[in-house]
Amino acid sequence: MFNRLVAGLVALVALSVLPPSPSLAAPVRSGHLESELVSASRGVSPGGEVRLALRQKIDKDWHTYWRNSGDSGAPTELAWTLPPGGSAGELVWAPPARTLVGPLMNYGYSGEVLLPVTVRVPASARPGGQVTLLAKAAFLVCSDVCIPEDANLSITLDVVSGPAPADPVWGPRIEAALAAAPRPGQVQAVLATGPSGLRLAATGAPIAGGTARAVYFFPYVGGVIDHAAPQALDRGPEGLTLTLKPAPDAAAPTSLSGVLEVDGKVYEVDARPGPIPAGALGLGPPPAAAKATGGGGGLLGAIAFAFLGGLILNLMPCVFPILAMKAASLAGHGHDRRASRFQGLAFLAGVMATFLGLAALLLVVRAGGAAVGWGFQLQSPPVVSALALLMLAVGLNMSGLFEIGSSLQGIGAGAASRGGGLGAFLTGALAVVVAAPCTAPFMAPALGWAMTQPPAASLAVFAGLGLGFAAPFTLAAMAPGLLSRLPRPGPWMETFRRVLAFPMYGAAGWLAWVLAVQAGSDLLARLLAAAVALAFACWLAGLAQARSAQGRPAGLQGLAALLIAVLAVAGAVWPGAAETSGPAGSGVSGGLAHEAYSPERLAALRAEGKAVFVDYTAAWCVTCQVNERVAFSTPTAVNAFKSSGTVYLVADWTRRDSVIAADLARFGRAGVPLYLVYPAGGGEPKILPQLLTPDIVARAVKEAAKG
């Protein structure tokens, strides 16, 4: 009895000291969510401010929307009814989550969310009285369908003469919501517009160090960027840069404001036009992707992998045409050791200079914001056209239609001359340009790792690749035992040279097919016309050389040949020829039933629980095309896809595509081919080898279908 009396007295004292809690109306159930107004304090003073929050408790599998709802939806709205002299501020929006719905990207909330708002009560409010604040809330609540819902909300606060104490329940939660909201001034941002899209660069102490991994930009205004497009990340020592795809038909923005989320932390940014800071570039995408795909082991490991990849690259189909030029060169100098060694070193120099030059250009282009990868030169129709004509000209030269310098019988005498060394150097350079689009085993993870490193480390890896590629021919040219076994120079060499012209014609035909796939029939017609004109020019050059050999003047024929050749090449590679309405990639994927890849289609198929095979390929990638014929277009592979229900998606990189480039970087790759098999029911994809067989493909899709 005594204990109960003491407890009652304590409760009475407490009630007399503490101000009462706000008079909360019961939460309103509007359909698929429950909402109410809650207060951070237990009262408000006359003319003072009180922090409230709109609380949403959303049903499972349903969501509401952020201030920018994304590609669909509508944000939550509050319409206040306040006493005369009262006012309400803007909602403080909590950081949103991303929701991919088919091809659409939406921003919003699920579960429970607090949206703080500051309200000022009128100065006429009297201490000891109460003030009632009313608001009408409008929500769009979505799951498979969207339903607009309304709620009439209210909260009644006691008016106190002094500072009101914090509410023990909602005070800490509202303060936590305010602390979690993005704040301005912590990072600085600039906006640049270029051919690769919009580039948003951010710098500042909170994001410095080059360690950012998961980064996303939520714009405050819709219709400016493509919300569903991947946002390619480049990190720098002082910050980071995102490449954003503009929304279709959107005008170039003069500024871009929103929320930058970096590894779970959020910052409000207001990007104005300006140059991209050097400190926001240079380290590439996060290194985790390269580690996940076997590109680890540090710089020495990457160089070793690149060297092995360069060795194997000599065996790839894309290098076969160049083997003809190597064979002819080695045969021509087989019994002149000094000349052979000179040729081997000149070939090595050509390979290394071109590998490092392409690598440096690639790094510069990527630093400028373009989403490109290894083999990028063959994504340009003018470059493909020029290479096709060059291959044709080399073939015509080897067939004897005209001569460049001495014939093969006379090469030995002048091998140490500048012309012989220059020829070997250019052979090495051409070999790299044609072979670069291929990625051999060991080569892909090394290049993927190199793309995430500082320039010095990247160039060291590419140097290892060049050394491996040049090593077989250079060592053969310097091996006395091998050279002594070659037949002596003689008339047979002219026949040998003419036979080796046909791989060059084959290479020219392949490049013409690549151009047709890449740019359509109109540009192919221009190339064929240029090829006929170039062949005529080479014939005229041969006639001029024959007249000169007879001691007769041939200046007019030689000048005509040069003029026609220049006009032919210019007509094929004129920049305007690069644009065409023809679809890219029409020659990719052969007869196996397939769909075009997109991140949205992949996400939709995975949401359905299906196994998915993604083939990152290109028409100019000969390894890809060999795999298509040898592995994919076979009864074994076709039956495996049909019986397992695995969906085959083709990501065609014949032309530049920033989405595919970002995917390749995410998996530690700098080029194609890349084969990913996503298991049914979810999980990380399995990466297949770059050289495939029907059994490898069939086994992979059957295992993926099992989940």
The residue-averaged pLDDT of 693-705 equals 91
Looking at the structure, tell me whether residues 430 and 499 fall in a common domain. yes
**Dist CA 492 CA 486 (whole Å):** 12
**pLDDT tens per residue across span 550-566:** 777 766 777 787 788 88
* Residue pair 150/25 in contact by the 8 Å Cβ criterion: no
Q: Angle formed by the axes of helices 320-332 and 501-519, to 10°?
A: 150
> Looking at 85-99, 330-344, 576-590, which range is the least confident one?
576-590
**Dist CA 287 CA 305 (whole Å):** 17
The residue-averaged pLDDT of 87-104 equals 89
Instruction: Pick the last residue of a domain from 123, 151, 180.
Output: 180
Instruction: Pick the last residue of a domain from 127, 155, 180.
Output: 180
Count of all residues that appear for the chain in the document: 707
Please calculate the CA angle 78-82-88 and round it to the nearest 5 degrees.
55
Domain interval for residue 251? 188-280
Query: What is the reported pLDDT for 555?
Result: 65
Looking at the structure, tell me whether residues 243 and 356 fall in a common domain. no
Closest C-alpha among 496, 307, 323 to residue 399: 496
* Residue pair 237/156 in contact by the 8 Å Cβ criterion: no
> Looking at 156-165, 392-401, 530-539, which range is the least confident one?
392-401
Confidence of residue 288 (pLDDT cuts 50, 70, 90): very low
392 pLDDT exceeds 50? yes
Whole-angstrom distance between the N-terminal and C-terminal Cα of the chain?
A: 68
200 pLDDT exceeds 90? yes
Confidence of residue 322 (pLDDT cuts 50, 70, 90): low
Looking at the structure, tell me whether residues 271 and 307 fall in a common domain. no
Q: Token pair 């952020």 is at which residue?
A: 66
**Dist CA 701 CA 630 (whole Å):** 16
Bigger pLDDT: 166 vs 524: 166
Identity (one letter) of the amino acid at 653?
Answer: W
Chain mean pLDDT for the chain: 79
- In the chain, the number of structural domains is 4
> Looking at 128-142, 299-313, 575-589, which range is the least confident one?
575-589
* Residue pair 263/209 in contact by the 8 Å Cβ criterion: no
Q: Token pair 């104490």 is at which residue?
A: 165
Looking at the structure, tell me whether residues 174 and 88 fall in a common domain. yes
Confidence of residue 252 (pLDDT cuts 50, 70, 90): confident
Looking at the structure, tell me whether residues 273 and 301 fall in a common domain. no
Looking at the structure, tell me whether residues 199 and 328 fall in a common domain. no
419 pLDDT exceeds 70? no
Q: Angle formed by the axes of helices 320-332 and 492-499, to 10°?
A: 170
**What residues pair up with 674 in beta bridges, in sequence order?**
616
**pLDDT exceeding 90 applies to what percent of the chain?**
31
Please calculate the CA angle 580-520-527 and round it to the nearest 5 degrees.
100
Task: Please check whether residue 644 lies inside any domain of the structure.
Answer: yes
pTM above 0.75, yes or no: no
The residue-averaged pLDDT of 400-411 equals 54
DSSP 575: G
Looking at the structure, tell me whether residues 170 and 253 fall in a common domain. no
Q: Angle formed by the axes of helices 521-549 and 555-573, to 10°?
A: 160
> Looking at 138-147, 262-271, 431-440, which range is the least confident one?
431-440
Task: Please check whether residue 590 lies inside any domain of the structure.
Answer: no
Query: What is the reported pLDDT for 292?
Result: 36
Task: Please check whether residue 525 lies inside any domain of the structure.
Answer: no
**Dist CA 457 CA 704 (whole Å):** 37
What phi and psi values does residue 218 have, to the nearest 5 degrees? -105, 110
413 pLDDT exceeds 50? no
Query: What is the reported pLDDT for 152?
Result: 95
Task: Please check whether residue 439 lies inside any domain of the structure.
Answer: yes
Q: Token pair 């194609």 is at which residue?
A: 672
**Dist CA 697 CA 646 (whole Å):** 11
Closest C-alpha among 399, 415, 389 to residue 324: 399
Closest C-alpha among 342, 500, 457 to residue 411: 342
Looking at the structure, tell me whether residues 373 and 494 fall in a common domain. yes
Identity (one letter) of the amino acid at 251?
Answer: A
Task: Please check whether residue 148 lies inside any domain of the structure.
Answer: yes
Task: Please check whether residue 467 lies inside any domain of the structure.
Answer: yes
Looking at the structure, tell me whether residues 154 and 206 fall in a common domain. no
* Residue pair 234/366 in contact by the 8 Å Cβ criterion: yes
Looking at the structure, tell me whether residues 154 and 41 fall in a common domain. yes
Looking at the structure, tell me whether residues 168 and 197 fall in a common domain. no
CATH number at residue 213: 2.60.40
Instruction: Pick the last residue of a domain from 486, 519, 552.
Output: 519
CATH number at residue 687: 3.40.30.10
Bigger pLDDT: 478 vs 484: 478
The residue-averaged pLDDT of 282-292 equals 52
What phi and psi values does residue 22 have, to the nearest 5 degrees? -60, 150
The residue-averaged pLDDT of 569-580 equals 60
Task: Please check whether residue 564 lies inside any domain of the structure.
Answer: no
**Dist CA 224 CA 577 (whole Å):** 31
589 pLDDT exceeds 70? no
The residue-averaged pLDDT of 514-528 equals 77
CATH number at residue 174: 2.60.40.1250
Task: Please check whether residue 2 lies inside any domain of the structure.
Answer: no
Query: What is the reported pLDDT for 486?
Result: 57
**Dist CA 500 CA 322 (whole Å):** 10
Looking at the structure, tell me whether residues 253 and 398 fall in a common domain. no
